[in-house]
Amino acid sequence: MAGIFALLKGFGTCRPTCSPRFGISPRCSVTKEHAHQIGTAISWFIWKGSIFRVPLSTLQRSPQEGGLGLSNVEAKCRALFISRLQTNAEHEGTLTEAWLQQWNMTKVQRNPLDIRLIPRQYEYLRVYAQEMAYVTPRGLTEGRRTYTKRIYDTLRHMNANAAPPREIRMEHLYPGQDWGKVWKNIAKANITDEARSAWYSVVHDCIPTNVRLHKIRMADNEDCSLCGRRDNLTHRLTECGEGKSIWKWTRSRLARVRQTDAQRISADWITRPAFHTSRQLQHRAALCLIANFILYATAHRHRMNLEDFLDFLRRTRWKDEETNRHTFDRVLGHW
């Protein structure tokens, strides 16, 4: 998943085809069916090969709400369409300008236009009139890009109000958890996209442990294939094989950051990281260490050992910016 989210966050799907002379084609507005097909393709591209997935509606939430800020395809296509329509209307002599002036859609109106006045063959103009009733006019100093973003935000919120997104599965399973802090920690952590993706998958319980596979009848039992104990997420990362010693080392470093006893560092910091350290420097270091522990543990399950993990941290450290390296060195010491 690493790197894919950054690519898709700026995903602009539909750019209307137009001619400076004749305006804009009514066939370029995206339909719900087309938007759904594009969304399905995006979901497959992100999760191909994965058994457990996070719904696309969740990924479209903001990072502070448990999502990744993925674009809403339908809203973005419509926002780009409206922006292009307005751009064409600014050129004198185009049919788009003539049509908008004919139905008085170039000026701010106190009441929304009765779309029944617009002929049905101009369905895209009816949609434009209906949706622009909820968008405040462009400011005198507001750039076109900023205005288009505001149109998109308005349309996205309208879609959310019409069909509220489903409750996130983990928030339903653990209602007493401070999920605002959990999502904020993951979103604000100064880590690579690869580490953030791994942590995001762990928090959403997308790792195919035998406990989850057994529930959908894809595993004979819930036992770990390596040690025979119950193979849940905590066991997979912190209790099985060399993962136990690696987690013990990680806990000791986290305890050093927190200036507390290692026994007070819970494995919940991995799966539901709602913790907070008063000093920003230490908090950043703790988030970085946990994220990289998760990245290593999920990618090297069958060949984990402490020496290799420390080498992994050293390589990760030198990939960071120089200022971040010095920050973590002062807090965690040389890895």
Give the tens place of pLDDT for each residue, 259-315: 889 889 999 999 999 998 888 888 988 999 999 999 999 988 878 899 999 999 888
284 and 258, same domain (yes or no): yes
State both tokens at 204.
Answer: 């959403």
pLDDT score, position 29: 57
214 and 248, same domain (yes or no): yes
Q: Which residues of the chain have pLDDT under 50?
A: 3-28, 323
Which pTM does this prediction carry? 0.78
pLDDT score, position 77: 87
**DSSP of 64-95:** GGTS-----HHHHHHHHHHHHHHHHHTSTT-H
CA angle 77, 79, 83 (to 5 degrees): 120
205 and 62, same domain (yes or no): no
State both tokens at 154.
Answer: 């308005």
255 and 137, same domain (yes or no): no
pLDDT score, position 294: 96
**DSSP of 141-180:** T--HHHHHHHHHHHHHHHHHHHSPPPPPHHHHH-TTS-HH
Domain end marker among 162, 189, 211:
162
Kindly state whether residue 172 falls inside one of the protein's structural domains: no
C-alpha–C-alpha distance, residues 23 and 31, integer Å: 20
Report pLDDT digits (tens) over 46-62: 888 889 999 888 998 88
- Number of separate domains in the chain: 2
Kindly state whether residue 171 falls inside one of the protein's structural domains: no
Which one-letter amino acid corresponds to residue 207? I
11 and 48, same domain (yes or no): yes
* 226: exposed, middle or buried (Cβ count in 10 Å: 0-12, 13-18, 19+): middle
Percent of all residues in the chain with a pLDDT value above 90, rounded to a whole number? 37
pLDDT score, position 21: 39
81 and 125, same domain (yes or no): yes
Domain end marker among 162, 188, 218:
162
- The boundaries of the domain holding residue 151 are 4-162
185 and 141, same domain (yes or no): no
127 and 19, same domain (yes or no): yes
